[in-house]
With several copies, the nearest count.
Chain A
Amino acid sequence: MTELFSGTGPLFMNPDPDDARSFFKKKEKALVNKVMPVKEAVSKFVKDGDYLGSGGFGSNRIATAALHEILRQKKRNLGLAGHTTTHDFQILTAGNMDGEKLLSRVDVAYIVGLEARGLSPHARRVMQSGEIEICEWTNYAIACRFRAAASGIPFIPARNMLGTDTFFQSAAKEILCPFTDRKLVALPALYPDVSLIHVHESDVYGNCRINGITVADGDLARASKRVIITTEKIISNDDIRSKPWATIIPSYCVDAVCEVPYGSYPGNMPGEYFSDEAHLVEWLRAENDVEKFRQFLDKYIYDVPDFEHYLELCGGVEKIKELRAQELLLPRKE
């Protein structure tokens, strides 16, 4: 007999598909206009205590406007699926200061780092303080958990995590394959309460296109009970219907559509604009000193009404033109 182990980490969300079915049954499926300002979307669809999913890949195609608005609206005790979260994680952990807890629990695959750019001092302080409950996973594990939820099944088996402390600190379980008798890891379905996804194009109903890698957003949108879309631009439903195979997220998954041009700034938006590395460095440096960071956040987030003003502070359309030239590999002007 092979002994089967269970991870010892907390399972933050109920993986039961019948529970989720009862919710999805009542979700709006008709084509209704869901366009609204980010402020309204966040106030309506993100509640204290909710568990969030963040689309894109950390600093690429992220819903910056919605993330900032969550900070501004001082949401509390949120959970997060931390599957390669980088700048998005930085933004959210900025809400964990002065004893306040924007984040209270995180499923971790990749946090506190910004890939080649280094580690976030503030996110590390927060994570090292022990104030956030955590459970360990991998990028693929979290992708599978979204996939299981999107499929309406309570788990998906995989062959990662086995034999490691990552498994031990997770809420996964070992199982035996009924066909091959091989040991597998069972990854429980993860249904976020709400996810924030930035896309290239959406119609007013929430039918979305993504012109690039989808990362896990096809599954994330389907797995989430509520979805806030921010989009570079709104396109006509006629346009969507002219090429239905280009639709990645269907409208019946979506609750709010917010038109936010340049909405992934300071992150990269494939084909549109590159990341603003200088601003990301400024953010990282500000984090070195708590007081300085407080001022930085006031200046860029708390003291501005919305993302458009933040963008203006960061250089506005001129800055975007620069980043656009970089993205498109245009020859630099001498």
Chain B
Amino acid sequence: MSDYNAIELMICVAARLLEDGSTVGVGTGAPCAAAMLAQRTNAPNLLITFEAGGIAPQLPSMPISVGDSRTFYRGLMATSMSDILETCQRGLVDYTFLGGAQIDAYGNINSTVIGDYHKPKVRFPGSGGANDFASFCWHTLVITQHDIRRFVKKLDFLTTPGYLNGPGAREKAGLPENSGPLKIITDLAVMGFDETTKRMRVESLHSGVTFEKVQENTEFELLKSPEITDTEPPQDEELRILREEVDPFRYVIGR
């Protein structure tokens, strides 16, 4: 059972970051799987919310949309998008999970366009609720594939704020104090942010991955945590719960 794929690894790592008794605003896919896994392992009292209005559902299966009926199935409340995002703006939501087409050294994310904004090579969906969640929640977590076209020096478009251009920049811009990106979880490593520069730094490496390999797949210069550890691999029990209870049809973790 100790065989696992990259997405399973990322989900297990993400789940462990969620503190018991905390709150999280999630989307569909891996973030939702991570939250569901956390509820069954280290964070039984994790409160899950969805931006379209669902609060604390007893998820019968993976939602397809952050607004489908699963997201409030036997929930505590089915409310409005404003109520959810204002609960975040008010400071009650600890974590959010995001993805994106590009991410930079400060954890800023692009999910709007590749190329020039007015003549885009590729048009992506845009912020949706990502900018809102990353502005309001205390900690932003990112789960993403690690490649050099994604981890870029300069975003084509800054959709969603990380630490903007460094220390104090979020506060100066008017964003809530002491919020920002916490961890970036990829198929190669787990990265955090240097406290002084607010730049991304490698904190743990997945089995068989070197710092050099991570740097090769990153356009900007990565910092190193004072102590780079080995990422703890998924445990058998985590994998069992993930495969049997969280995602039995393997929608997210694949075949």
Contact = CB atoms under 8 A, between A and B. Distances in A.
Direct contact of A and B (CB under 8 A): yes
B47 A84 contact: no
B54 interface: yes
B80 A184 contact: no
Contact of A222 (B68, B87, B175): B87
B80 A163 contact: no
Interface string B56-75: 01101000111111011011
Interface stretch (B123-131, B142-150, B204-212, B237-245): B123-131
A275 B58 CA distance: 19
B23 A252 contact: yes
B92 A109 contact: no
B198 interface: no
A244 B136 contact: no
A230 interface: no
A147 B83 CA distance: 11
Interface stretch (B7-15, B157-165, B182-190, B216-224): B157-165
B28 A115 contact: yes
A280 B28 CA distance: 17
Contact of A110 (B128, B161, B173): B128
B122 interface: yes
A213 B66 contact: no
A161 B131 contact: yes
Given A57-B65, A109-B127, A271-B69, A21 B90 contact: yes
A164 B64 contact: no
A188 B58 CA distance: 37
Interface string A232-260: 00000000111011010011100000000
A287 interface: no
A214 B69 contact: no
A151 B131 contact: no
Contacts of A128: 120-123
Contact of B125 (A57, A119, A182, A207): A119
A184 B69 CA distance: 34
A160 B90 CA distance: 12
A93 to B, nearest CB: 11
B131 A160 contact: yes
Most buried by B among A27, A128, A219: A128
Interface in A162-177: 162-166, 169, 174
A255 B128 CA distance: 29
A250 B55 contact: yes
Interface in A9-57: 17-18, 20-25, 27-31, 56-57
A87 B175 CA distance: 32
Contacts of A185: 174
Contacts of A252: 23, 47, 87, 92
A30 B47 contact: yes
B228 interface: no
B65 A159 contact: no
Given A112-B124, A116-B64, A240 B131 contact: no
A283 interface: no
Contacts of B131: 138, 160-161, 164, 166
Interface in A280-300: none
B138 interface: yes
A5 to B, nearest CB: 10
B181 interface: no
A163 B54 CA distance: 28
A24 B90 contact: yes
Interface in B58-104: 58, 60, 64-69, 71-72, 74-82, 85-92, 94
A136 B126 contact: yes
Contacts of B81: 57, 139-140, 143, 213, 215-216
A162 B131 CA distance: 9
Nearest to A158: B89
A321 interface: no
A218 interface: yes
A110 B125 contact: yes
B140 interface: no
Nearest to B131: A138
Nearest to B71: A213
A124 B52 CA distance: 24
Interface of B: 20-23, 27-29, 45, 47, 51-55, 57-58, 60, 64-69, 71-72, 74-82, 85-92, 94, 108, 112, 117-132, 135-136, 138, 155, 157-161, 164, 169-170, 172-177, 251
8 contacts: A22-B91, A60-B68, A110-B125, A117-B64, A119-B124, A159-B175, A213-B53, A275-B65
Interface of A: 17-18, 20-25, 27-31, 56-60, 82, 84, 86, 108-113, 115-117, 119, 124, 127-128, 130, 136-141, 143-144, 147, 149-153, 158-166, 169, 174, 182-185, 205, 207, 212-216, 218-219, 222, 240-242, 244-245, 247, 250-252, 268-271, 274-275, 277, 327, 329
- Leading 4 A-B pairs by shortest Cβ distance: A21-B91, A213-B53, A57-B67, A183-B174
